[in-house]
Structure formats: C-alpha cells, structure tokens
Chains A and B, each alone.
Chain A
C-alpha cells in the first residue's frame, strides 16, 4: 500500500552544504532500497530555533515528501535518531489528511454550485459578486487584543 509521508529534519548549523547533501543522499538510498520514492525536497535554509536545543540556536530545515511504506519511515526514523548531525526530526503521514481536505473543498464548491443553480444563477461566482472578502478590521472575530479574566 502506498502512503505519503512528510519528513522534516533540522540539521545542526555547523553542518556544511556537503553534509546536508549527504544526508539527503542517505534518505534517498534508504527510500530506494525499501521501494519508496522521494517526490519533493525543500530546503528552508537556516532558521532561528524557537528555543535552544542543547548548544544550538539555529538550524537548517529540510523537508522531504516521500511515498512509501511504514517500514521505510521506520528505518529513516531509526537512522536519524542515531545521527548526531540531526538535532530534530519529524515524520508525519499526510495522504489521509490530504484526502479529507480535498473532500471538504469539493463538497463546499459543489453545494455552492447546486444552490446557485437552484436560485437561477450561473454556477460560478463572478469576481466581485456576493459576500465581500473578510476584512481584518471586522470586529466580530478574535483579534488578539481581547483578554478576558
């Protein structure tokens, strides 16, 4: 069964570009060995950490979108746990959530189309028609300034 996973790892700021590339190559090798495919790689670059992890205050974030089985992710997880260069990593399964999101989106647009047809309007909303976009100064929403108690 094919599943999609997101893997984010934070590499120590002392790591060189070559070392980061090497980590990526490691992931690729494991994926290939266990029948997975890397769909996308995204390097977010150096970012400040929200809190200090050991001696580190910064880290390089890398995101990989991997298609493969659970065994593959288990192996990557195990490998990353023992790699000193990686200070944090996170594996999240994304395919199920994505289908749910897509379903709610299509459902919403379908109901709006159905209702519009029932009202005798063209199915798609023309630009500038209908409810105006939500402004940030509309005051019935939470705006972070309100503090209770």
Chain B
C-alpha cells in the first residue's frame, strides 16, 4: 500500500513536470529569482492559423478559452491579439446566452 502511494506521488510529479509553469513557480519559490525560466513567445492562435470567423456556434474553438471556472481566459495568458480577443469575447457571450458554454462552473 505504501509503495502504491509512493508511485502515485511520483506520477503526480511527472504530470507537474509536463506543465512548464508549475516547474517555474516551484523554482521561483526556492531560489527567489525573478525570471527563473525562459518564457516562450505567445502567438495569437487566430492570427497564426488564419481563422477569420470566430463564431459563437463553434464551441470546439471557444472551449480552450474558457477554462475550468468558465471565465474568459485573459489576453496576457492566451496571447490572443486585441482584435481577436474582442471577437472571441462576443462569441463567448453569445454562446453563453444559448447555454452552449457555461457562465460559471458548479
């Protein structure tokens, strides 16, 4: 049972390593450095993939921008450009009205 617990802990650590920000946060706490890790350049998804039409019916496209709490992901995290963030916002708000996307979780 003990071994099983250890293993699960180990796998949890591995999962954490998969997400770069987790590692970065831990390093920051330990060393007290200001910029501990290289931050990758963020690119607007809609510019990069040349998506012109941000439609409220396209839930698959919108879902990554409304994480667990179902709040709209801010630009500083997703890296979306101002124009596309605006369009994204109207699309999400319309989709919410039709109960395609939740307003909040729980």
Contacts and interface: CB of A to CB of B under 8 A. Distances in A.
B85 to A, nearest CB: 12
A88 B20 contact: no
Nearest to B99: A49
B19 to A, nearest CB: 5
Interface residues on B, range: 20 to 34
Contacts of B49: 134
B26 interface: no
B98 A8 contact: yes
A141 interface: yes
Contacts of A63: 57
A145 B20 CA distance: 8
Contacts of A97: 53
Nearest to A88: B98
Contacts of A78: none
Contacts of A108: 50
Contact of A10 (B78, B98, B103): B98
Nearest to B80: A142
Contacts of B20: 145-146
A40 interface: no
Contacts of B18: 145
Name, among B22, B42, B98, B102, the residue most crowded by chain A CB atoms within 10 Å (CB to CB): B98
Name, among A61, A104, A148, the residue most crowded by chain B CB atoms within 10 Å (CB to CB): A148
Contacts of B41: 140
Contacts of A144: 64, 67
Contacts of A10: 98-99
B44 to A, nearest CB: 9
Interface string B26-69: 00000000000000111101001110110011000000100100
A15 interface: no
A50 B19 contact: no
Given A108-B50, A134-B48, A142 B99 contact: no
Interface of A: 8, 10, 49-51, 53, 59, 61, 63, 88, 90, 92, 97, 101, 104-105, 108, 134, 139-142, 144-148
